[in-house]
Structure 1
Amino acid sequence: MLDTKNAEPTARDAERPAHADSDHPKIPRAKIGVLLANLGTPDGYDYWSMRRYLNEFLSDKRVIDYSPFVWQPLLQGVILTKRPFSSGAAYKSIWNNEAGESPLMTITKAQTAKLRERMQDRFGGDVRIEFCMRYGNPSTFTKVEEMIRDGCQKILFFPLYPQYAGATTATANDQFFRALMKAKWQPASRTVPPYFDRPDYIDALAQSIERAYGALETKPDMLVCSYHGVPKRYLMEGDPYHCQCQKTTRLLKERLGWDDTQITTTFQSRFGPEEWLQPYTVEEVARLAERGIKNIAVCAPAFSADCIETLEEINEEIRESFEHAGGERFTYIPCLNDDEAHISALEATITENLAGWT
């Protein structure tokens, strides 16, 4: 819970207003905050860390919108008894042991550091860049509280999801708004819209693919753009995610100068019994191999940073499905992460959305 009641500001430049009484609280110099938001990560891959993280994630009604009277007994019983073991093993296989954290945390820190340096060069100390996680730490509540205490009277909230989905962008925004509801002095706020069709984002994607292809001895026969999945029902209820994914692939194809035989769109990470957006990546790569397409590359345009869904699911499970079906060459193209072209696209997006504030 965000608690700013009677909280002393943390900013070093805090001082009492002119002509104020001696007991008036100190007020920091006004600043602008930019808060980047990613999905989240467990604090560790042990059973209890995984259970806490999965409980928070799978209890979010934006993610699983079944009736809690039906869902919670199942979640708290069978799922959270067994799934922390399998998910923990998956995280262990990709864990950054040197830093003691998940790759998503490492990459998000690097992205934030580069953006902070660029904002410092552009705006000096008037714009503060931080990051938070929707699930796990550092929490949205904690970071919003810190920014308010530091004097951020305006906050730009930036969910790091190129395509909008209720289960990603919307739930991140929800948590940001919940944090604002707890503030005594509520800052002015803005949220950054999805950037799935920005030319600089598409160009950054294309550059990463061109570099990857250029490093291979044999050019892949097909590029599979694998996006995280959502139930098909969400599309029918008005979620624009499917359409924005399709447009990202189309714009990428046009930027690369390819035709439809060289690129395709799929969806991964299906969970539960109902139908999700199709084709499913794990099944489609097997079909490609069975059709004689033996050399493929896979990228993940819905993820701003490599994480469990890319490093473990794509590069291990989906690779295995392709090779088991007869595929011979499988190349995973990493997410944009802290690539300079990606950072430039994020910087431009932030700067445009700060218009009128700076």
Structure 2
Amino acid sequence: MYKLHEGDQMSSESSSASEIPVVQRQLSYSLSDKNKNIPAKSEETSDDMDFNHPGEPPLKSMFNKERIQKPWTLKTHLFFILWFPFGLVLGTFKFLTVMFVGMPLMVIFNLFDKEWLFWQTVGRFYNFWSYVRNPEMLAPASEAPIITCNHVTDLDGIAYFPILLTKHAVEITTVFLKPLVDTAARCKWPLKVIIRETDPEKKHLTRERLLEFFNSEESKDRQLFVLAEGATTNGKVGLLQFNRFVFSLDKPIQPLVVRVNPHMPINIDIPSKNMFPNWFWYMFCPFVTYEYTALPVQTRKPNETPEEFARRIQQMTADELGLACTTYSYKHKNRLKKVVR
């Protein structure tokens, strides 16, 4: 699983964040405009233009603003009101124990090759209720070594483990987490991890390591799961631009579409400085359903650039969800968060 996070300088979609093609827009004024009292272009005006691309929904509309969904109705909010005290207690317990109880239990289940049983029991207690709507469409690793998916919650990548299983997954993680990775390896953790370099002069090593893995015997039954937008959205308006990195590897890709249902009138994901509030409200819910839909495997066409390949799969994903296919990137979201604060 290649789980992307907001602000990554080299995310799963891009070997370099600077490679992302961002549409540059400038304000131009005619001679007649010069005679009007039009203020000079300011940084705020520039940001506003960059957050509102022509023909696309406003960037702000792609993210949740409030934790509780509106409007309030008896039908949708009565259960929430009744559940609230239980959710606070249960959510707090889950939040505090997931790392110190849930993860060690997962290691123990893996030692006995019973990871599937972990997800059916402990995993569901921690709200990971995942399934594929059309499992017959899922391609094996030999036919699609890379899986891409839209990004709705911080836990989208982990939520696919009940389906893929860690022994069939490969993940790219930062070099700073290497000590943790080494510890996991000593505990017989079956997840294959490729270290991502953060030094600009060494970033090419990540691509080389990944290609080396894909060409090895070990890759035959493992798939790389990529949250291609690099940042979460509300999943209701549009998709962020898919980064080009994995689309430049010349490997077949299977697009997945995820729909998340918290079964509560709350928004699990709200842009914030850290993920802990979102994690808590995720645990607050009695259960959360992740429904994945598999789309046909895609290969890069002759003379198709990585950017065009990424855009084509982004459009396929957007069409399945009935959302707009935008040119905003995760960088736009990071900038918007700073402006909103």
What's the TM-score once normalised by structure 1's chain length? 0.29
Instruction: Indicate the structure whose relative CO is greater, using CA pairs within 8 Å and at least 6 residues apart.
Output: 2
What's the TM-score once normalised by structure 2's chain length? 0.30
